[in-house]
Amino acid sequence: MLLMACLLYARIVGMLSSIKKFILLVWEPHRHGLFEATLLWPQVYSRTNKGTIVPMLFVLPKMLFLFQTLQIVDKTECFRKWQRDISKFVWQGKKPRIKFKILTDAKERGGFALPDLRLYYESAAFCWLKDWLLLEDTDVLDLEGFNNAFGWHAYLWYDKVKINKVFKNHIVRKAVFNVWTKYKDLLENKTPRWLSPLEAKARKRSNMEANWPKYWEILEKDGDNWKLQSMEKMRDKVRDWLHYAQIKEVFKLDKKLGFQVEKSKLETELLEPKTKVLSRMYNLLLKWNTQDETVKSAMIKWAQDIGHNIMFEDWERLWTTGLNFTACNALKENVMKMIYRWYMTPVKLAKIYHLSDNKCWKCKENEGTFFHLWWTCPKVKAFWEKIYNELKKVFKYTFSKKPEAFLLGMVGQGVVKKDRTFFMYATTAAKDTSREALENTRSTHTGRMADATDGLYATGRDDRQNPRSGRGDGRRRLEKI
Ligand SMILES: [Zn+2]
């Protein structure tokens, strides 16, 4: 007993001192503008040249460490503020051109995998919740629930928080519980398998036993229905007939909601795995969070332009394997920019700067929409025709000339598998040439406008690598003017 008390004391003291250390070392600087300091990182980013996400690689481990050690964010406004700061940094103070949700989405779904701090915080909360749900680590449970009046599952599932307000008067419990209530219905819409009615009904005291019978252990199938096992079968789990009757009452109430038969996502992603719980939970939450973005606006616009629907599978293939033709990030970035219709057009510029002229920079006749500029403009058409003819000569066979293949890299069956990588390189190079040419015509065509939008149109990093490319030229030309 004394030994237990000593151990517990050591744990608490250890925890308190580490909490103090974290507040001093990590939390305070974060509160006081460490994120403002990250705005200095563009220098790092231009030097390392590895893409927009690089600075996040410095911040993320620190933040994850913090989230996992201290679950105390009461109000979630700070995440919005941090997100704003990150966005400001990513776009270098300019107007964002890709939605934050798409930026954070996973690469397999066409996103940019920018870490979403709020979701990471919430996933870390689930790592804490894991102990409360599993009821295995009694030391942690005693420490975190030292003044609980009911079992953990009573708070988590049977709404005892309303009766016993003390539960939420605890800084960590409150923060973790808030995350739980946010996702509870999404994660478990029926009575979960891991729920232990016995633990929920038991009065809380210290040094409670660990092995509480869960629903999946005490239910049995009766035709199409689920029923509680007989008292004989549960002999070693219940104390007496009264106890059994109490459990039966709870069971009757839970039955109204129905029982989760198969393992839920919460079980497979959080409760069962021993490792990588944080990233598993993050991926799960991310999937839900970005679900409504599945039909992304850029995809709709492409379908309208091309005149027929592109199958969702084709998009998926493009994100998962289509980009793997090269290891070069700059080339990948070019493909992504095309998919998300990043490049400025006369129509967009006219809208932004209230200009009367929105004609194509090349033919100066038609309206300069994105698709016109890249595909239907007669001048561009001739250019693509040349590329197409050359490719046919190289491949020694013919294939159909589709915009989705040339612009988006959805190669399709027309091109033999072994030629696809070459096709991707050739079209990406062609697009880059076309972009440069466009930029040059634009800067000669509308000098003032080019000045106003300098850097918006150009593909930042590429230009730094290649001083001869469009943006530099545009500048020099402007200087001459
Ligand atoms: Zn044109």
Tell me the CA–centroid distance for residue 306 and ligand 1, in Å. Answer: 17
Tell me the pLDDT tens digit for each residue of 156-170.
998 888 888 888 888
* C-alpha to C-alpha distance for 78 and 66, rounded to whole angstroms: 14
Burial of 351 (0-12, 13-18, 19+ CB in 10 A): exposed
Left (φ > 0), alpha (ψ -120 to 50) or beta: where does 115 sit?
A: beta
Determine contact, residues 53/43, Cβ cutoff 8 Å: no
Burial of 172 (0-12, 13-18, 19+ CB in 10 A): middle
Tell me the CA–centroid distance for residue 422 and ligand 1, in Å. Answer: 28
C-alpha distances (whole Å) from 135 to each of 198, 208, 250, 335 are 12, 10, 19, 49
The number of residues in the chain equals 481
Average pLDDT, the chain: 77
Tell me the CA–centroid distance for residue 377 and ligand 1, in Å. Answer: 4
Tell me the CA–centroid distance for residue 372 and ligand 1, in Å. Answer: 6
Q: What DSSP assignment string belongs to 399-450?
A: ----HIIIII----TTS-GGGHHHHHHHHHHHHHHHHHHHHHHHHHH-HHHH
Tell me the CA–centroid distance for residue 390 and ligand 1, in Å. Answer: 23
Tell me the CA–centroid distance for residue 149 and ligand 1, in Å. Answer: 74
Tell me the CA–centroid distance for residue 382 and ligand 1, in Å. Answer: 11
Is residue 221 within a helix (H) or strand (E), and if so which, with residue range?
A: strand 219-222
SS3 212: coil
pLDDT classification of 227: cutoffs 50, 70, 90: confident
Determine contact, residues 110/315, Cβ cutoff 8 Å: yes
Which one is predicted more confidently, 321 or 133? 133
Tell me the CA–centroid distance for residue 373 and ligand 1, in Å. Answer: 6
Tell me the pLDDT tens digit for each residue of 461-471.
333 334 333 33
Tell me the CA–centroid distance for residue 395 and ligand 1, in Å. Answer: 30
Tell me the CA–centroid distance for residue 330 and ligand 1, in Å. Answer: 27
Q: What is the pTM of this model?
A: 0.65
Of 16-30, 233-247, 333-347, the poorest mean pLDDT is in 16-30
Q: For residues 356, 362, 366 and 372, what is the CA-based torsion angle, rounded to 10 degrees?
A: -110
* C-alpha to C-alpha distance for 267 and 261, rounded to whole angstroms: 12
The neighbourhood of ligand 1, an ion, using CB within 5 A, equals 360, 362-363, 366, 377
Determine contact, residues 192/215, Cβ cutoff 8 Å: yes
* C-alpha to C-alpha distance for 139 and 11, rounded to whole angstroms: 9
* C-alpha to C-alpha distance for 239 and 198, rounded to whole angstroms: 11
Tell me the CA–centroid distance for residue 445 and ligand 1, in Å. Answer: 13
Tell me the CA–centroid distance for residue 383 and ligand 1, in Å. Answer: 12
Beta strands in 25-98 (DSSP E): none
Q: What is the DSSP letter of 264?
A: P
| pLDDT score, position 52 | 47
Burial of 444 (0-12, 13-18, 19+ CB in 10 A): middle
| pLDDT score, position 24 | 47
Tell me the CA–centroid distance for residue 432 and ligand 1, in Å. Answer: 17
Tell me the CA–centroid distance for residue 318 and ligand 1, in Å. Answer: 28
Tell me the CA–centroid distance for residue 191 and ligand 1, in Å. Answer: 61
Tell me the CA–centroid distance for residue 454 and ligand 1, in Å. Answer: 22
SS3 249: helix
Tell me the pLDDT tens digit for each residue of 422-479.
999 999 899 888 888 877 777 665 544 444 343 334 333 333 334 333 333 433 333 3
* C-alpha to C-alpha distance for 422 and 277, rounded to whole angstroms: 40
Tell me the CA–centroid distance for residue 361 and ligand 1, in Å. Answer: 7
Determine contact, residues 148/204, Cβ cutoff 8 Å: yes
Q: What DSSP assignment string belongs to 269-290?
A: IIIS-SS-HHHHHHHHHHHHHT
Tell me the CA–centroid distance for residue 355 and ligand 1, in Å. Answer: 18
Which one is predicted more confidently, 123 or 75? 123
Tell me the CA–centroid distance for residue 381 and ligand 1, in Å. Answer: 9
- Residue 373 corresponds to which tokens in the numbers above? 């500029």
Closest CA to 384 of 413, 414, 426: 426
